[in-house]
Every structure is written in structure tokens, then in C-alpha cells.
Amino acid sequence: MKIIAYGIRDDEKPYLDKWSEENPDVEVASTGELLDDSTVDQAKGADGVVTYQQKPYTASVLDKLGSFGIKYLSLRNVGVDNIDADAAKRNGIQVTNVPAYSPEAIAEFTVTQLMRLLRRTNTFDRKQANGDLRWAPDIADELNQMTVGVFATGRIGRAAMRIYKGFGAKVIAYDIYHNPELEKEGVYVDTPEELYAQSDVLSLHAPATKENEHMINDKTIAQMKDGVFILNPARGALVDTDALIRGLDSGKIGGAALDTYENEVGIFNTDFGSFDKIPDERLKNLMKRENVLVSPHIAFYTKRAARNMVYFAMDANKSLINTGKSDKLVEL
């Protein structure tokens, strides 16, 4: 049995080596390169492919994998929206993902960024860099006095809710699918509009779907409280960037923490050498603001998550090759 792993980062390599040692019946090949038309030939002779990337898994790549007889593709991440579903089905390629590599990592980071916004740490950092050690006028807000609205109560949303409650915040939530335990607690509101109207903080944890694209837009922002804080550690496509900027300019939005951005592919996880060379003016607009925190999709980025991403994906791929089954199969 042979599995090739694409896009292996330096921080993932020790975990891949450890998995390989623990699975001597599997020949493991790896590369730091992503899976695309220029690298797909490296998969020839493999039984399965493990990969992680933001760029598309195109029809030409999937057709090539199919021509090699490869029917198993295991992602080290959650999202499958960048896979050409028709091509995968046409080639009989089964796909697995890692639905939860560390919900707590993302939840902890989300709340950390909110606390930075509420306590104005970005403002004080900039003031202190210029020798200004005064307090006023940058007085803070307290989370225990606020209502946090959580949009989507999957694993990450629920993990975030536990932390918000620990701070003493009132927590409400909206989801099409109600979690039975949360249902008993009575935290759900019936519509997104109710969530927007009642929340001092809006914490987004929804997947990227056609229905959710630009769910944060001019119309929905107008339904929110004045001075609302918006947190997006989920998917960049959830937020209409232009509408967000307009909301920040008007003061309707009191602050935002963005770990994802709708045009992040090719920008995040790239060293441009200087701020001026970042090739996205809207992103730079946001980064310049004291009440906006932009991070390059790092909420997941912990040692535990990196280990789980490798192990869960490799285990799933091996299971597919051996049995044609995995508890992490996804429908495209």
C-alpha cells in the first residue's frame, strides 16, 4: 500500500514521520508541493492521496488521479468547497475530510481576538510604540455585560459558547439544526434577524455554502445593534468585505476580528516583504484600522491540530484503501 501526502508543512513532517513509523505496512511518500497540474504525476503508483490546500482541486487534476486508478482523496482540513464535485464523481473518487481537528483551538483564538478588541489592546500597542502611556480616551468594554450571538452551533460554535459563558456573557445562538443539549438550555433564537438584533457580539462559525455567501452584507448589518463586534474565524465568503468596510466607516460596526478573508488564497501564508507590497487594497484598509484585527487564517494553528490533521487524514485514507469505508467520508 502506498499513500502520497501533498503540501506537507515543516510543522506537519514530524507527525507524518511518526504515523509512518506506526504503520509499517504503508509506504508513505510526501512533498511540500501542493496538488495541481504540475505535481499530480507524482501520485502515479500510489493507492491514495492525502492533501491540504486552499487552491482548487480541478477537473484536470482529478481526471489525472482517476487515470492512475486512484480512488481515494483524504483532506487534512474541513472544507470541500474547492473540489470539482462532478469530476470527483465521474472518476469514482471518494473524499474524506477532518471535520474536527481541534474545535477548541479555533474557539480559544476567536475569544482571544474578541478580548483584544474589547480591551483596545491594538490601540494601546500603537500608542505605546509612540511613547504614549495614557489611558484615556480608550476605555474598554466588559464581555460579562454583553450578549454574544453565535451563528452555527457545530463543534467549534459550541466550544466558543462554553468559553463565552465562562466569561459571564449571555449567549444566544442560531442554527438550522438544533443541538439537543443547547435546545434544552433555550439558547436558540428562531431567525438570523433575531440573532442580529439582540447581539452585541456576532461570532460566525458557519461553513461556506451558496446560502451563506455574503450573509454579512449591507442589509444584515443594518439589522444589527449599533457598535456590534463581528468575529469571523470561519470562512471568508461569509462576509461581504465592501459592506464590512462601509459598516466600520459609519460606526455601525464597533470592531471586527477576521481570521478569514474572502480573497485570502494566494495572500494569506505569504511573505510579501513589506506592508506596501500586499496586493489587496481592501485588506490593507482593514489592517490599518485600530478596531480591526486581521490574522492570516491561524485560528486552527496549534500543535494538537497539526497532529490531528495528519493522523486523522492518513488513518482515513488507509481505511479507504483497506475497506473502501471511513467514518470521515463526505458527500460532494
Instruction: Supply the residues annotated as catalytic.
Output: 235, 264, 297
Distance of alpha carbon 134 from the chain centroid: 36
Show the CA angle centred on residue 209, arms to residues 222 and 165, nearest 5°: 60
Q: Compute, in degrees rounded to 10, the torsion defined by CA atoms 216, 217, 219, 221.
A: 60
CA angle 166, 171, 172 (to 5 degrees): 160
Alpha-carbon distances of 229 from 108, 222, 224, 315, rounded to whole Å: 17, 13, 10, 39
| Dist CA 282 CA 254 (whole Å) | 18
Q: In whole angstroms, what is the distance from residue 332 CA to residue 330 CA?
A: 6
Cβ-based neighbours of 196, under 8 Å, separated by 6 or more? 149, 202, 220, 223, 224, 225
* 98 CB-side CA count, 13 A: 24
| Rounded Cα–Cα distance for residues 114 and 117 (Å) | 5
Q: What separation, in Å, do the N-terminal and C-terminal C-alpha atoms of the chain show?
A: 26
**Amino acid present at 198:** Q
Cell numbers at 3, concatenated: 499513500
Long-range pairs of 134-139 with CB within 8 A, sequence gap ≥ 24: none
